[in-house]
Chain A
């Protein structure tokens, strides 16, 4: 296992370096942040000063060398749009996104496993219908539409929860609710499909023949074996949320890393973009490692 983890770490580090080089040069291809930072009426002289101060007049390779040197000291530089180090802004945003993603994924996983298993046990029953409904909503309704409808219904008309923002536990209900729907529908379908396949296997039939009750059959014998494909999908969905639930963060005024990254790309705040990519890539790398470990825990036949 240690050897496997070491190999994965090296492979991920190589991918990360490649990603950083790619993002550094691609982001520079999008143009000069001077045009966006200074007002339209700014003189050529002011633009030249800005470029000189931020090193934008230097050759690209000189800028890259400076960036790599700073990176070796974990210094991503100062944000040109914010009066603070880029990494501070990113870590602050990432903490919000991590909380949002973690709570959402825990709820999604628990409910999807329970409802998906019950749906598989009785195809066409109540839980199966629920699974189909949520899968359809998750696949067809866009996040921003659900978010706006939820705000109008639950906040403006009913006054049950705040429209947006942070501050109290009530503020988390709508963003989590909206984020919940898409991965829930998807994971629910995977759990259902995987469970239907597992429940029809020979060892389950043997257990039934021996008189084992339904609950242990579903949640003890079948679930563990049905979980491998489910974990892959959960990992995928969680990675998506860690990258930042941009739409939900924007609409609900959640100060997460996804919104920060999009704003920084639009503003060509290169330092923040690179810091955000580094932090989220590292988080996804750690999460993938955890999933690999979880495979081995769930299925003793898997050995690295």
Chain B
């Protein structure tokens, strides 16, 4: 009797072990850097929310694919109907995880919801601020969307809008997101994990990963250790100092660009020679492979090189201390108050080694003859310096900032950063305002050329800022997976793109 009981118990244990192994073979664990406070698809533009929700649970009408440009997703095709109106034809036979069919009314509802004042969705605030959207449901699979002011890149903007069912509440965030994606949202044990599993009714190809668990660890060393110990399969974001194993660690352009924004409305920073001197005084190459990671690129614009209209003819300013000093002297001789103290404002934890970066910049500028001091502040105080309206009694400042644009078009950046009315602009130049408007409304090759011209104007003709670096991020990936991080890994992690070796 005892022997039989032991045999049965052993068999059950073996079966449990076998099923666990089987479950693990097509399951992965992703370790994120912070717990998700909100899992609503309309917040999917936030990095860690996007890594769970975007294209896994909730899909978009279009999709920006690195190297391939804008691709269809829930919309099969689209056409410009003129006067700011675009017609989108939806894929048929697509259903949500709750079993209801996707139709044009769902798209209209999703657009209305991202602009809902009651929940202040990030996608609405970030990509559709100042844009009025109206929709016309032509039939179940056809919708016309009109943007005011007209948006020539509306199909690109639609790559940011996650589509949810019409039943989704307008006045509160959802706790269990529902979409059309290849995975369903199964469980959120707050503080512990999120679990997704394969959507058996998915319209597209069946992915290799059947189950995914997301866990949260704020310490980079722990995230790296989890992958090393085999407890996790992907750590999308680890620190430079933890990326120490070439067999598991990948660096990728993370779409973040670092630049210094002088207040060009105040002396002495309103003088172009002073701004040129700022640029010539920085030895950019000295940062790469020392304070910043190997692979960091020197920049000439605040959007990544893969963005349309990026002007590849522009060269970073060379390090020329003598020229910087001469330019300052020339400005001084013309009565520019170059000895006025300038405050360099940095933001704590803005990027890895931000303090070291700022101290090095300060030393270089002081070496060139600038009277400058450094102030490191936390994010809320930094925003008071970075965002309009600026205080009336301010002193000359240079604000350090890191900007993320992985969306393929400069329109997501340029107005906010350089237009006279831009929220984070310290430039007041009607000619530049006209150029921005011109490029924003242009299409095709003409659009590309106008953006390229605009970047030259900012970088070379007017020297409105000090462009520094296109940053790289680091991911650790378990060797059992076939997955290579890309520029999109900064904002999404499509499980359907992961397979097993």
Contacts and interface: CB of A to CB of B under 8 A. Distances in A.
A56 B120 CA distance: 14
B4 interface: no
Interface string A135-166: 00000000010001001100110010011111
B118 interface: yes
B222 A268 contact: no
Interface string B30-47: 000001011010000100
A255 interface: yes
A166 B215 CA distance: 10
A35 interface: yes
A253 interface: yes
A41 B229 contact: no
Contacts of B38: 81-83
A237 B126 CA distance: 46
Contact of B219 (A81, A92, A165, A251): A251
A250 B219 contact: yes
Interface residues of B, number: 44
B125 A148 contact: no
Contacts of B37: 79, 81-83, 267
Nearest to B221: A148
Interface in A63-120: 79, 81-84, 89, 92-93, 96
A253 B455 CA distance: 44
A42 interface: yes
Contacts of A32: 380
Contacts of A148: 219, 221-222
- From DSSP, what is the main secondary structure of chain B's interface residues? loop
B117 interface: yes
Interface in A20-59: 30-32, 35-46, 49-50, 53
A43 B222 CA distance: 37
B491 to A, nearest CB: 12
Contact of B120 (A36, A40, A49): A49
A267 B130 CA distance: 26
A179 to B, nearest CB: 16
Contacts of A35: 379-380, 383-384, 387
A32 B423 CA distance: 17
B226 interface: yes
Given A82-B37, A155-B229, A255-B35, A43 B423 contact: yes
B129 A151 contact: no
A251 B222 contact: yes
22 contacts: A31-B381, A32-B380, A36-B379, A36-B380, A40-B386, A41-B416, A41-B423, A41-B424, A82-B37, A83-B173, A83-B175, A93-B191, A151-B222, A151-B225, A152-B225, A156-B225, A162-B229, A163-B225, A164-B222, A165-B192, A255-B191, A255-B192
Interface of B: 35, 37-38, 40, 45, 117-118, 120, 122, 124-126, 129-130, 172-175, 190-192, 215-219, 221-222, 225-226, 228-229, 231, 379-381, 383-384, 386-387, 412, 416, 423-424
| 8 closest cross-chain pairs (CB), A and B | A255-B191, A43-B129, A42-B125, A83-B173, A81-B37, A39-B126, A46-B125, A31-B380
Interface of A: 30-32, 35-46, 49-50, 53, 79, 81-84, 89, 92-93, 96, 144, 148, 151-152, 155-156, 159, 162-167, 250-255, 259, 263, 267-268
